[in-house]
Structure 1
Amino acid sequence: MLNSVIVVDDEASIRAAVEQWLSLSGFNVQLFERAEECLAQLPAHFPGVILSDVRMPGMSGLQLLDRLQQADPDLPVILLTGHGDVPMAVEAMRNGAYDFLEKPFTPQHLMGSLRRALEKRQLVLENRRLHEQADLKAQLENTLLGMSQGLQQLRRQVLELASLPVNVLIRGETGSGKERVARCLHDFGPRADNPFVALNCAAIPETLFEAELFGHESGAFTGAQGKRIGKLEYANGGTVFLDEIESMPLAQQAKLLRVIQEQRLERLGANQSIAVDLRIIAATKPDLLEEARAGRFREDLAYRLNVAELRLAPLRERREDIPLLFEHFARTAAERLGRHAPPVGGGRLAQLLAHDWPGNVRELANAAERHALGLDSQNLESLPGGQSLGEQMEAFEAQCLRAALRQHRGEIKGVMEALQLPRRTLNEKMQRHGLVREDFLGNE
């Protein structure tokens, strides 16, 4: 239950009395003598109620109400009035005030009005939160494409972790979309308006690594012309994405660990440390703890990076997402080239589903772009699936059955209607492909 109340009144005795009443009743009270002070310090989406006198020096309570209505029409404002101000207060309620209390008022009358206003505020803020979550979910669904159970779980994890101030380790094969997931963790969190800096640790020469991350002062080493801001300092307030973190030299791992622990860094050649506010998202293909046991990675840094872990499934483990992704990449490529993508035939789709995609989503995107260019429309053997047409058709059929079972959560009647199959035929096909309805019960 919300319990925050801001009291604005130029009379010190009124402020003191109201604060005593509300504090004894468990309210969190903040006092202001002038309306201008209240406006200057009022946080966005204030989770409470404003209690304001009408007649005050400078900005009046009615003027304060008008300013608050412009900023947040749903913020409850209760006006404190003298006897002669009642008609004015009634008019103010027509203009958006929640309630008014005529002086002198009893603590019981004040508490009743405040509790009703706070209940209303709680409902408004909860409704806003649900709408914002729905909007974020829709945006994320358009960014991390896929309907497989694993992809849906990944989106839920990203939304949950995006708002948390913790470092995240992303595990996944080459081309599985680690940087895109890292970008979503940044874009859907409170650091979205600050820098997102991506670094591939395997692409930086070891001799330049320290200067690249930490920057340098003029003359710090041969060729250091002028001061240079490093990537970590540049990302202050935002997010640093360190791809292929397992490739980071051990000497730099120690310095990165110190930055994470102390939230401070030193440029090369500098004598003073600089405070930084960073969120670190690292990505790796191997297990960092196994790398640590082999002496190739610092174990303490591995634990610091892996506060939360996200695992990206390879494309071969979520084949039901392949048609959607292929169509999306082909359409995007065609639009960029100002042409229409050729249709995806059944044979081509079967081949796509049968292929193992060692390059994952990146390889699929390349195949889709070739398709948009019409470079493989006449050659269904362009992808080395290594399977006969019959094997590819079997893989396609199994995938269609699996997708329908997942969609209908193992409900056989729904699968029969969706695929237009009699019960006996469906049972035979499920048995041939090793599909059991119990494996899909309750799945989203």
Structure 2
Amino acid sequence: MQQIIFIDDEASIREAVEQWLELSGLSVRTCARAEEALALLSADFPGVVVSDVRMPGMDGLALLERLRALDAELPVIMVTGHGDVPMAVSAMQQGAYDFIEKPFTPERLLGTLQRALDKRRLVCENRALRRQAAQQGSIEASLLGISPAIRELRRQILELADTSVNVLIRGETGSGKERVARCLHDFSRRAGKAFVALNCAAIPEQLFESELFGHEGGAFTGAQGKRIGRIEHADGGTLFLDEVESLPLAQQAKLLRVLQEKSLERLGSNRSIAVDLRVIGAAKPDLAAEVRAGRFREDLLYRLNVAELHIPPLRERREDIPLLFEHFARAAAEQHGREPRPVGPDLLAQLLGHDWPGNVRELANAAERHALGLGAGGAAGAALPAQSLAAQLEAFEAQCLRQALQQCRGNIAETMALLQLPRRTLNEKMQRHGLNRSDFLAEGEA
């Protein structure tokens, strides 16, 4: 909802304007001083600022200069007293949207405000569209896949990225939890600050406190000098705690205190250090079950799980397998100075028929082996274990249908001709494999 901030040092004027605007259905916040208003404003403030020119402390012209530096497109309406018109003209030259001379009528104020609010709405909408377009292109390159599940995951990431809420990511081993966490960071306002990843299962319990919170020199035997911990290093950015279920209970309590108080104390120090960070946790098991088993604190779960993202396993989005495999194989060939090797129909059927218990990590390993000419099997070079012949044929048929629909851009008649299938058979197969024509249409087509 659009908002208005009205600044005037006279209480009677603030009360009258607040009443006028609220009766007109507008949201208004009044301030007695410019400094008070500045604390409420950010670069994407969805509204308009109205300020008196003459005020104690920071006056309206100084406020205008600060607001122009914050956001040059923020509409600022100046209110002037009798005889201050030259000052108002100067304010217009400095970038003020308009000025109103006291005493003013409600109609005069509302007319000016409505025009300014319309302009601000368009500016904010255009900014959001530009951000969305930039993010959409980038996140598709960062998180590959054409399946409905992965498209929905990308949408959720973009929706959550620019919020400040902590996020819990659920997913099996190798499903890409750190990649999702990285996307949440990269498409947020914290992107310019550190992304600090910590695998909680990889750190010995006796080193946890020093690793997370840091220590002062001499805090314990072997502590030669001061060490900045992972939490402090993530200040202003994002802390990613992978396998967060492995956090010892004692450290869970200390992490909870950091999240509540937004400060920490290094080991061996009594000085509090303020920290501003977003925490993204990742877990394989259900943390609610871990709470019931007494292995995870319920209050910490509530702090971490403000929002939850679920990464579907690769076996539930088989249509992404060919794209991912080719991407990893091409990257591996380039890294090792090899020519890319083709992915034939036999290999494709094998890939689609495998359950991929190791998910994307296992697929990337198979792609690298293929790029090096070692086959796409396991460490010993054995063939990938497959499902039944019927399951492999189903997976291969689904992939053939997807490729044909994509090639024909959702045109059913062209797809029928390409696959040499009658309309009824094609419809039945599309329905069985959960394929919708609309998912393959070119942009703008219906």
Q: Deviations over 1:116-166 (max 9, x none)?
A: 122121122122212212322222121111111111111122122223332
Q: CA deviation at 1:304?
A: 3.2
Q: Structure 1 residue 361 and structure 2 residue 365: aligned? A: no
8 Å contact from structure 1 (residues 316, 356) kept in 2:
yes
Who is 1:435 aligned against? 432
Counterpart residue type for residue 4 of structure 1: I
8 Å contact from structure 2 (residues 149, 317) kept in 1:
yes
SS in 2 for 1:25: helix
Who is 2:20 aligned against? 25
Q: 1:290–1:390: structure 2 CA closer, same or farther, 3 Å change rule?
A: closer
Q: Structure 1 residue 275 and structure 2 residue 274: aligned? A: yes
Correspondence list, 1:110-129, <5 A: 110-129=109-128
Q: Structure 1 residue 162 and structure 2 residue 161: aligned? A: yes
8 Å contact from structure 2 (residues 31, 37) kept in 1:
no
What is the alpha-carbon distance in structure 2 between the residues aligned to residue 265 and residue 66 of structure 1? 37
Q: 1:269–1:339: structure 2 CA closer, same or farther, 3 Å change rule?
A: same
Q: 1:78–1:289: structure 2 CA closer, same or farther, 3 Å change rule?
A: closer
Counterpart residue type for residue 173 of structure 1: E
TM-score relative to the length of structure 2: 0.77
Correspondence list, 1:2-41, <5 A: 2-4=2-4, 22-26=17-21, 27-28=28-29
Deviates more, 1:381-390 or 1:271-280: 381-390
8 Å contact from structure 1 (residues 341, 373) kept in 2:
no
8 Å contact from structure 1 (residues 51, 77) kept in 2:
yes
Who is 1:334 aligned against? 333
8 Å contact from structure 2 (residues 366, 377) kept in 1:
no
Q: CA deviation at 1:320?
A: 0.3
Correspondence list, 1:24-103, <5 A: 24-26=19-21, 27-28=28-29, 43-49=42-48, 74-76=73-75
Deviates more, 1:97-106 or 1:314-323: 97-106
Q: CA deviation at 1:221?
A: 1.5
Q: Structure 1 residue 316 and structure 2 residue 315: aligned? A: yes
8 Å contact from structure 1 (residues 406, 440) kept in 2:
no
8 Å contact from structure 1 (residues 53, 80) kept in 2:
yes
Counterpart residue type for residue 426 of structure 1: L
What is the alpha-carbon distance in structure 1 between the residues aligned to residue 89 and residue 389 of structure 2? 80
Who is 2:215 aligned against? 216
Q: Deviations over 1:245-284 (max 9, x none)?
A: 2222232223223333333333222234433333221111
Who is 2:199 aligned against? 200
Unpaired segments ≥5 residues, structure 2: 22-27, 441-446
Aligned length in residues: 428
* RMSD (Å) for aligned C-alpha atoms: 4.5
Q: Deviations over 1:7-52 (max 9, x none)?
A: 79xxx8xx8897566434224456789xx99999974244444668
What is the alpha-carbon distance in structure 2 between the residues aligned to residue 127 and residue 104 of structure 1? 35
8 Å contact from structure 2 (residues 168, 309) kept in 1:
yes
What is the alpha-carbon distance in structure 2 between the residues aligned to residue 150 and residue 366 of structure 1? 23
Q: CA deviation at 1:213?
A: 1.2
8 Å contact from structure 2 (residues 42, 70) kept in 1:
no
Q: 1:295–1:96: structure 2 CA closer, same or farther, 3 Å change rule?
A: closer
Q: CA deviation at 1:113?
A: 2.2
Deviates more, 1:358-367 or 1:107-116: 107-116
What is the alpha-carbon distance in structure 2 between the residues aligned to residue 250 and residue 420 of structure 1? 62
Q: Structure 1 residue 385 and structure 2 residue 380: aligned? A: no
Q: 1:72–1:239: structure 2 CA closer, same or farther, 3 Å change rule?
A: closer
What is the alpha-carbon distance in structure 2 between the residues aligned to residue 309 and residue 55 of structure 1? 50
Q: CA deviation at 1:423?
A: 2.0
Q: 1:6–1:43: structure 2 CA closer, same or farther, 3 Å change rule?
A: farther
Q: CA deviation at 1:176?
A: 0.5
Q: 1:421–1:266: structure 2 CA closer, same or farther, 3 Å change rule?
A: same
Counterpart residue type for residue 277 of structure 1: D
Q: 1:69–1:339: structure 2 CA closer, same or farther, 3 Å change rule?
A: farther
Counterpart residue type for residue 368 of structure 1: A
